Amino acid sequence: MTTTAGETFARAIAAKDQAALRAVLADIIDFQALTPGRVFHAATGTELAVEVILGTWFARAQMDELCAVTAGRVAGREHVAYRVRLHAGGDEYLVEQQAYYDTADDGRISWMRVLCSGYQPVVPA
């Protein structure tokens, strides 16, 4: 089974792997995301990987586990959903993101829209 660009994107985020993120993102990208506190935009893969994802969203996080990743299509548009468990500031959180994306001819993500749950505290059972 072939791994989609979206699954590769999710795994790179969970690993905080800048090189893998850059490899799956097109040099020029049309990116927008909505998080609980802010709207994000990026025009290049480097800006998205370095400044937004690793520099803002998950800069303070220790990634513990990629809990779930699912991929699919909505007609001609790709979809990926992923959930990560992480630690930040001594507390444990879950973050879920839903993303819709298109790829360029080379298979890299060139257009993406993301909706993020934000850091949701994990309450011990």
**122 falls within a domain:** no
Count how many domains the chain has. Answer: 1
Measured between alpha carbons, how far is 120 from 94 in angstroms, rounded to an integer? 5
DSSP state of 117: -
**124 falls within a domain:** no
**80 falls within a domain:** yes
Q: Which CATH number fits the domain that encloses residue 58?
A: 3.10.450.50
Residues 6+ apart with CB under 8 A from 113: 31, 32, 33, 99, 100, 101
**123 falls within a domain:** no
Residue 29 lies in domain: 5-117
At 124 the pLDDT is 75
User: Over its length of 125 residues, how does the chain's per-residue pLDDT go in tens digits?
Assistant: 689 999 999 999 999 999 999 999 999 999 999 999 999 999 999 999 999 999 999 999 999 999 999 999 999 999 999 999 999 999 999 999 999 999 999 999 999 999 999 999 998 77
- Look at residues 42, 50, 44, 26 and name the one whose alpha carbon lies nearest to residue 107: 26
**125 falls within a domain:** no
At 123 the pLDDT is 84
Measured between alpha carbons, how far is 50 from 111 in angstroms, rounded to an integer? 17
